[in-house]
Amino acid sequence: MFNIVIFGKPGSGKGTQANFLKEKYNLYHISTGDLFRKNISNQTKLGIEAKSYLDNGDLVPDSVTIKMLENEVLSNKELNGYIFDGFPRTLNQAESLDDFLSSINLKINATIALDVNEDELITRLLDRGKTTNRSDDQDIEKIKNRFNEYNTKTSILINFYNKQDKFFSVDGKGSVENITSRLFGLVDSLI
Ligand code: ADP
């Protein structure tokens, strides 16, 4: 199994690139943002609990997020590995993920960050907000709050995975195809 965390700020292209990675390496793609949005539109208990956090661009509490993630892993076990997109986003989530994976004899093989500066990300997110109904992409204050959540709670994970020699970064600027080939090149060198 080869398990990847795709890492980066909001709008860095994690979801887009995860779709290419999952096809090429036969991985199961888990996007916590997509899972929350699905639960919100189906008005499940979890969705009702998560909605206000997503609307404001705040992180959903770990207790909710970690359980949702573990259930998703346990219900999809057939492929060559997982690609975690949007998880972990806190140190607690990263430690829980290591413990949980080791309890089922798995581990994270690589964490790959897409590196893009915030000015470019704001342009991309506001653009995305025009064509989707994501309210968190339509308001500059909500976007800035998401960057703030990343900078205060998520960016420390760079150090967490660096210490395990699992952190890699690729330039996330340029055409989608160019970024995909950078990622494939990196993953091929790690497998
Ligand atoms: P983006 O990366 O563009 O912010 P996502 O779809 O990954 O978009 O996440 C959207 C929202 O879902 C986040 O702002 C947050 O409210 C919630 N969310 C997603 N993943 C997590 C997580 N691991 N922990 C807490 N909240 C999360």
pLDDT in tens, 67-87: 999 999 999 987 899 999 999
Rounded Cα gap, residues 22 and 19, in angstroms:
5
Cα 105-155-173 angle, rounded to 5 deg: 100
Model pLDDT, residue 146: 97
| Cα 1 to ligand 1 centre (Å) | 25
In 10 A of CB 152, how many CB atoms? Answer: 11
DSSP 8-state assignment for residue 152: I
Three-state SS at 3: coil
Q: pLDDT tens digits for 89-137? A: 999 999 999 999 999 999 999 999 999 999 999 999 999 999 998 999 9
Computed over every residue of the chain, the mean pLDDT equals 96
Ligand 1 pocket, 39 CB below 6 A? no
10 Å CB burial of residue 186 (0-12, 13-18, 19+) is middle
- Contacts of residue 123, defined as CB under 8 A and 6 or more positions apart, other chains included, come to none
Which of 84, 146, 155, 156 to mutate to test ligand 1, by most ligand atoms within 8 A of the CB atom? Answer: 146
Residue found by looking up tokens 């096809």 in the block: 23
| Cα 54 to ligand 1 centre (Å) | 7
CB 167 within 8 A of CB 113: yes
Total number of residues shown for the chain: 191
pTM value is 0.96
Ligand 1 pocket, 146 CB below 6 A? yes
What domains can you pick out in the chain, each with its CATH number?
4-190 (3.40.50.300)
**Which residues in 8-130 belong to E strands, given as ranges?**
28-31, 82-85, 110-115
Q: pLDDT tens digits for 16-42? A: 999 999 999 999 999 999 999 999 999
